[in-house]
Amino acid sequence: MNYKVDYHVHSYFSDGTMKPTDLVKMYKGRDYDVVALTDHDGVDGVYEAVIAGEALEMKVIPGIEIGGSYDFGGQEIELHILGYHIDTENAALKACIEKLRASRRDRNERLLVHLQGLGYDLVYEDLIERPGQDYIGKPNFARALKRKGGAPDNVWELLDSVERERVSAYEAISVIQEAGGMAVLAHPLKTKEIGSLEEENFWNNLDAIVADLKKHSLKGMECYHPSADHDQALKLVVMAGKYHLHITEGSDFHGDE
């Protein structure tokens, strides 16, 4: 039996634009069988999504996406780790989320000052998109700049110029495992600083990273993602098979934008 699935979806509890209930309704209306809510660094929307799934008779998987640091040949790079079937009440997971929230708040304050110093007319209130919003991510900054007519062509490069403290990718995998979940490497082809996608060196470096993460209990790889074309996705499938990893598919949906 074939299932229509999306294992990578964001709600407005991180940097998406839709509430969890509306997300589940949308996917049900598009005849999906399974969807995983994988908000960045938090699980606040999971309960609402699961309840909506039960009401609509569609399977909703409790998930999370954690941005982790990784030492690649003495250089720190960023990897994103997806967690599926997690216990959202797990103490270690909650502690990790609180650490990540504190780090993000610190980064946001510094990023706002940086943008103001460059002449952008932006204040914290511009970043709030709904009442009670707790999470502020780079897409919130980008949308705020766009609304005010000041988003430059290199907006993502600009927003990436202010870093934040992260947990290690190893810790992200460990926390997900401790919460009873399965850790999956998100969108491998978006990995920066390991070479150009057009060069074999990129694939060799990615292979080495995946081999190392496998030793630290990585269980899967997101082979099908908008960042990978058909041929690239097949190369990722072969790599996943080499390391006996689960193959997942996700749209990385954030909203109509």
The answer to whether 193 and 74 are in contact (CB under 8 A) is no
- List the structure tokens of 210: 């995946």
Domains in the chain (CATH in brackets) are 5-249 (3.20.20.140)
State the pLDDT at residue 134. 86
Determine the Cα–Cα distance for residues 33 and 100; give it in Å rounded to an integer: 31
Tell me the whole-structure pTM to 2 decimals: 0.93
Contacting residues for 46 by C-beta, under 8 A, at least 6 apart: 20, 37, 39, 62, 63, 88
Tens of pLDDT, residue by residue over 15-43, are 899 999 999 999 999 999 999 999 999 99
Cα dihedral 245, 197, 38, 145, rounded to 10, equals 170
Tens of pLDDT, residue by residue over 123-169, are 999 999 888 888 999 989 999 999 988 888 899 999 999 988 999 99
